[in-house]
Amino acid sequence: MRPARYARPVTPPRLIHVDDHLIVADKPAGLLAVPGRGPAKADCLAGRVQVLHPEARIVHRLDMATSGLIVLARGDEMQRRLSMAFAARQVDKAYTAVVEGVVADDAGEIDLPLAPDWPARPRQQVDRAHGKPSLTRWRVLIRDPAQARTRLWLQPVTGRSHQLRVHLAAIGHPIIGDTLYAAPARAAASPRLLLHASRLGFAHPATGAGSSFDSPAPF
């Protein structure tokens, strides 16, 4: 992906870490990770980073509605190495979410296969016949009975599209503010999706040293 060009200034990205080989940025909710189709969707995190570092290359993505940490590679070789680490599931990813309802158990796993819901794209769905294996681990951080909600720590073992959102909705605890998978009343209960990529950990692609980055949820 090459640097985007903008006709007007854009908000500078919030960079958590910059070295000679990679960049870790904190994406705000409502911003695309990469450009969409057409000039109206040109603004994105990758483009904003490339204004400062033209050699930056996207490695993975977050949904537009999700905020949090994204790593970008500096140059093609670092992109190749980091992409291989993601594909091999050698990256520790964790998210914070606030979901509907008071979750009873303290921790657990959601093991449900996922596939696109083609008639309702971009929605995904649980598909036990044709879906790809998908696994999410979770644990409770805070229960809030007064507001009938729970704050969770989430670890996606696989990385399917909308995985956390579909898995939590499937067990009856959709993420608050989710306009695709939550009931309309809960979707309207927050101006944004209450899902944040809070942690990234991986072996540095140049040195092999363990690297970990954290970003507290802004909700």
Tokens of 1: 């992906």
Give the whole-angstrom CA distance, residue 100 versus residue 175.
Answer: 6
In our burial notation (b when 16+ CB lie closer than 10 A, e otherwise), range 95-113 reads bbbbbbbebeeeeeebebb
CB 143 within 8 A of CB 152: no
Return the biggest CA–CA distance within the chain.
Answer: 51
Strands 135-144 and 124-126: unpaired
Give the whole-angstrom CA distance, residue 102 versus residue 142.
Answer: 9
User: Which among 19, 20, 43, 63 is annotated as catalytic?
Assistant: 63
**Is-catalytic flag, 76?**
no
Give the whole-angstrom CA distance, residue 24 versus residue 110.
Answer: 28
Task: Find the DSSP H helices in the chain.
Answer: 45-52, 76-87, 163-170, 184-187
List residues with catalytic annotation: 63
